[in-house]
Structure 1
Amino acid sequence: MDLRLHEQAGDVTLQHGARVFDPWRLEWAEATPRPGGVEVTPEAALAALSAARKLRGVPVAVIGPREAGAEELRLAEAVGAGLARCGLVLLCGGKNGAMEAACRGAQRQGGLTIGLLPDEEWPAANDHVMVPLATGIGPARNAILARAAVALIAVGGAYGTISEMALAMQFNRLVLALPPAPEVPGVVRCPTPEDALRRVAMHLLRMS
């Protein structure tokens, strides 16, 4: 893949061949190739750009059921933690179950968590939501979440999760699903959280 990170005088740039990445606009531009640099994975590239405060905080959504089983909770927490390690912002529905597990994983890794609540007041958010946004519109908030996220990762669920996945597909978002999630045409199935995180990183780096 030959992604190379260059650090000089406190500045961090990411280069791929004769292109340099703009981490604020999430775009590549032509540039003169620079020798050296450190080869990095897509995930490590995002983490380095975020640590240098150059990466824009675009949200990645984690969706799943309120009544989540043990495996769904484990996967959601792993995905949340991985997003935080990549320096990405986690967006979710702000309630309990898989949403709370994802927020807990992200918060423990120092990540930013945003909850887009169906309720009328912010205290309805779970304790790991750092930015609770009360919409007061009930399940209709699923459409806002699907539109606001640059990518969605489903870790289980039923009708609510299916609606978010379907809406996101209509909005041309990248939608990924781990094994417990429902089957939805066009959604990319991922065997592990690590595979899902790598696909998100490649999507944000415009490499997929």
Structure 2
Amino acid sequence: MSGLKWLEAEKKLFRDGQTFNPHRLEWIADAEASVSTAVDVSATEALVKLSGTLRKVPVGIIGPREATEAQCALAEKLGAAFARHGLQLVCGGKNGVMEAACKGHAEFGGMPVGILPDEEWQAANPYVAIPIATGIGPARNALIARACVALVAVGGGVGTLSEMALGLQFNRLVLAMHDAPEVKGVDRYDNIDDVLERVALRLFTGK
């Protein structure tokens, strides 16, 4: 159990005598937080309930440009799930897994951000809503890893491996799906719902 409770009348999330501030992503002491009418919710359910007020901190989907059909299909579903749960997608903005994730995110109302290695924003894939041209080549991987609170790798080679390693170095939550590189300290998931729950727990608990 997540230990999270939701009070529908006040649209507030509670936990152990605290109220969650959805803008600062922090728990604040609240003497009235143990409301008897509050109901237990999972971290994923809390995401949905707070989606209108939760600060749009970035969560990354990373993976190869030269992606397989299976990798793209999974990335598209993952991007769509992010949008449905109010999560802000950040990726490298190019093709393959990145384009598929952006497509899924955009089709469900999201505004995917692409942090590009290129010098001009026009290099972004057609589904990127907010292209950021860095002009720094592969070094932009460090920007993605630093910007995101969590990274989910779908497949990948050396570039994806560098983002995963940088994410760990920056103390980010790094998760792997499908045939992403094996990295010590990175948990592997097969199910998108489990990924969402793990990302939500990071947002709500910092763990």
Instruction: State TM-score, norm by structure 1.
Output: 0.93
- The residue aligned with 2:180 is 181
Contact 2:60 2:91 in 1 (8 A): yes
Instruction: State the alpha-carbon separation in 2 of the partners of residues 154 and 47 from structure 1.
Output: 23
Kindly provide the amino acid, as one letter, of the partner of residue 67 in structure 1. E
The count of residues paired between Structure 1 and Structure 2 equals 204
- The residue aligned with 1:19 is 18
- The residue aligned with 1:126 is 125
Instruction: State the alpha-carbon separation in 1 of the partners of residues 27 and 186 from structure 2.
Output: 26
Deviating above 4 A after TM superposition, structure 1's stretches of 4 or more consecutive aligned residues are none
Please tell me whether residue 44 in structure 1 is matched to residue 45 in structure 2. Answer: yes
Kindly provide the amino acid, as one letter, of the partner of residue 39 in structure 1. D
Secondary structure, aligned partner of 2:46: helix
Instruction: State TM-score, norm by structure 2.
Output: 0.94
Q: Which runs of 5+ in 1 are unaligned?
A: none
Displacement after TM superposition at 1:194 (Å): 1.7
Contact 1:26 1:206 in 2 (8 A): no
Instruction: State the alpha-carbon separation in 2 of the partners of residues 124 and 106 from structure 1.
Output: 19
- The residue aligned with 2:90 is 91
Q: Which runs of 5+ in 2 are unaligned?
A: none
Displacement after TM superposition at 1:92 (Å): 0.1
Displacement after TM superposition at 1:17 (Å): 3.4
Per-residue Cα deviation, 1:24-53 (whole angstroms, up to 9, x for no partner): 1111122221121343221121122122xx
Instruction: State the alpha-carbon separation in 2 of the partners of residues 109 and 3 from structure 1.
Output: 27
Instruction: State the alpha-carbon separation in 2 of the partners of residues 146 and 195 from structure 1.
Output: 21
Kindly provide the amino acid, as one letter, of the partner of residue 78 in structure 1. K
Instruction: State the alpha-carbon separation in 2 of the partners of residues 182 and 99 from structure 1.
Output: 16
Secondary structure, aligned partner of 1:157: coil
Contact 2:153 2:160 in 1 (8 A): yes
Identity of aligned residues (%): 54
- The residue aligned with 2:8 is 7
Contact 2:71 2:178 in 1 (8 A): no
Query: 1:46-195 alignment to 2 at 5 Å?
Result: 46-51=47-52, 54-195=53-194
Per-residue Cα deviation, 1:33-76 (whole angstroms, up to 9, x for no partner): 1121343221121122122xx21110000000011101111111
Structural RMSD (CA): 1.3
Instruction: State the alpha-carbon separation in 2 of the partners of residues 155 and 194 from structure 1.
Output: 15
Which is worse superposed, 17-26 or 75-84? Answer: 17-26
